[in-house]
Amino acid sequence: MRQMLRALGIRDFVIVERVELETGAGFTVLTGETGAGKSILVDAIELLVGGRADASLVRDGAERAELSAEFDLAAGSALESYLASAGLEGDPGKVILRRTIDRAGRSRCFINGHPATLAQLREAGEYLVDIHGQHEHQSLLRASAQRELLDAHAGAGELALACADAWRSWKRLAALSAEAEQQYAKRQTERAELQETVADLKKLGLKEGEWDELAAQQRRLAHGSSLLAGSQSSLEALSEAEGACLPRLSAVAGRLRALSAHDVHLKAIVEMLESAEVQASEAARDLRDYASRVELDPVALREVEHRTEALHAAGRRYRVKPAELPALEGRHLQRFRELELAASPEALQREVAAAQERYDAAAKKLSAKRKAASQALGRAVTQAMQSLAMVGGRFAAELRPLEEPGAGGLEEVAFEVAAHSSLPLRPLAKVASGGELSRVSLAIQLVAAKQSPIGTLVFDEVDSGIGGAVAESVGRSLKKLGRERQVLCVTHLPQVAAQADEQWSVSKSGAAGSKRGRLSSAVTRLDRAGRIEELARMLGGTEITATTRKHAAELLGK
């Protein structure tokens, strides 16, 4: 079973008062007039998978916005394992995300009813939804975004992270080596001081959590006499002294028990007294056991107080709270070891060389995966461009060796494109028209989406800047993608909307002069007649004629 969105709930979000959607598999489009709130639904999904929120998202006049989404959850999936490890499990086969935003901008997140952090919501969302925005082509102009997309296509995301970590480790040790040569004398002084501090702290034999344990032990031992006297006198009052509570309570219960034979109303009172008698007996037994274990040990008390004072003195000496001494010792010990390493240039150079070797190995492996993936990505995007009115167009993901290796590897990734066969390949940033850039971006996104293991793909007006036959081709591409994934697409193009398996219409009502003085959005699932009417509106604007309806029916019939 593929994970996909099953239901979306929105309340008091921007101009949406209340919307409940049940989504199905395949290709679904959201259409409607400009400003009706189509993209607001995408924004809601983005927030539910960890997007940033602020108070402006709460509908005017409401106290808070509430968003929720239910997804299928495949058994044995990575998401199921993540939720189990984080203690966020829910009902089998589903996962429910919920988020609220109040008027002060405070946000609360929930996963399967459990309070969750925004980071946890974002991590869960990474398994569930992939969102392609209408301005995504702008981010694709950045070299870092091109590199990340290629690495994702290559399945080399973890390897890229490992390469970056290896580079940072190598450079940190190299900087330490250079600094060690420049500041050898200064480091020797610091090393001697740290050695003395570490030796002093080691003498204390510090343990994590010891301070809290000592405080509790000191309170118990210091008040041993009063604890023993109090427990013994309480025990006598309960059960052992003349006129103790328990015998008197038992007598009262017995007297009323006999009387209850004459009046059933007393039975409830008798039951309460019997319960109290049982609890009082248990309290007396536990109190007797407690009194037998109370320590009156002045020697132990003196030892605890001596240890407490020693930790207090050390805390004052090093200007930290006594409870923070173990962490301080750990930091000083780590720094001392680094300085020891710096004190031996040969050992440090060996560490630098080993770190460089680890980086080189990771970077070469990453380069190999990039090389194979760049060729596959180039072929796939080139093929996608042919159906977007760019016949003869070409795409390439070029790998250019860097003069100096970096955290991103041994090469930079540069996307190049030729809009048609007569043009040479040029950097993506130099594509002449916005329409061409939009189409190339869409081709890249369609290819990237096909490679994604995520079940729900959301496209927010990625078809802007195109029309006619190109729009029809885009619709066919999205419909084809919908056979493999759940595809949700916000569009203003009738040629795209007509290709969908299902269509939702977003409309707005109300105006500044209305009774409530606020706009509101509503979402309606359209039947065939409704789709024809909506497609006719998209084709002809406010004036819908028989001709536009006929054209809409023909478009839908295709």
User: What is the topology classification, in CATH, of domain 1-128+501-524?
Assistant: Rossmann fold (3.40.50)
**Mean pLDDT on 400-422:** 90
Bridge-based pairing of strands 394-406 and 520-525 is: unpaired
Residue 66 in this model has a pLDDT that exceeds 90: yes
**What is the pLDDT at residue 159?**
93
Query: What is the rounded distance in angstroms from the CA atom of residue 79 to the CA atom of residue 64?
Result: 29
Share of the chain above pLDDT 70, in %: 87
Comparing 251 with 486, which gets the higher pLDDT? 486
Helices (H), 11-156: 38-48, 78-85, 118-126, 136-139, 143-154
Residue 79 in this model has a pLDDT that exceeds 90: no
**Mean pLDDT on 90-101:** 93
Q: Indicate whether this model's pTM tops 0.85.
A: no
Confidence of residue 340 (pLDDT cuts 50, 70, 90): confident
Comparing 447 with 355, which gets the higher pLDDT? 355
**What is the pLDDT at residue 298?**
67
Bridge-based pairing of strands 456-460 and 486-490 is: parallel
Query: What is the rounded distance in angstroms from the CA atom of residue 104 to the CA atom of residue 98?
Result: 18
Residue 198 in this model has a pLDDT that exceeds 70: yes
pLDDT tens per residue across span 118-175? 999 998 988 888 887 655 555 677 788 788 888 888 888 889 999 999 999 999 989 8
Query: What is the rounded distance in angstroms from the CA atom of residue 477 to the CA atom of residue 295?
Result: 80
User: CB-based burial of residue 211 (10 Å sphere; 0-12 exposed, 13-18 middle, 19+ buried)?
Assistant: buried
pLDDT tens per residue across span 272-328? 888 887 888 888 788 777 767 665 566 666 777 778 888 888 888 888 888 888 888
**What is the pLDDT at residue 382?**
93
Helices (H), 294-324: 298-318
Q: DSSP state, 236?
A: I
**What is the pLDDT at residue 1?**
54
Asked if residues 348 and 173 have their Cβ atoms less than 8 Å apart, the reply is yes
pLDDT tens per residue across span 427-462? 887 775 666 776 787 788 788 777 667 888 888 876
Query: Phi, psi at residue 161, to the nearest 5°?
Result: -65, -40
> What are the DSSP calls for 359-394, one per residue?
HHHHHHHHHHHHHHHHHHHHHHHHHHHHTTT-TT-E
Asked if residues 305 and 291 have their Cβ atoms less than 8 Å apart, the reply is no
Mean pLDDT rounded to a whole number for the chain: 83
Q: With H, G, I as helix, E, B as strand and everything else as coil, classify residue 62.
A: coil
Residue 514 in this model has a pLDDT that exceeds 50: no
> Rg for the chain (alpha carbons), in Å?
36
Residue 208 in this model has a pLDDT that exceeds 90: no
Q: DSSP state, 59?
A: P
Residue 115 in this model has a pLDDT that exceeds 70: yes
Q: State the helix-helix crossing angle for 325-342 and 298-318, rounded to 10 degrees.
A: 50
Query: What is the rounded distance in angstroms from the CA atom of residue 44 to the CA atom of residue 71?
Result: 15
Residue 354 in this model has a pLDDT that exceeds 70: yes
Residue 520 in this model has a pLDDT that exceeds 80: no
Residue for token digits 């450079």?
171
Share of the chain above pLDDT 90, in %: 26
**What is the pLDDT at residue 369?**
94
Confidence of residue 516 (pLDDT cuts 50, 70, 90): very low
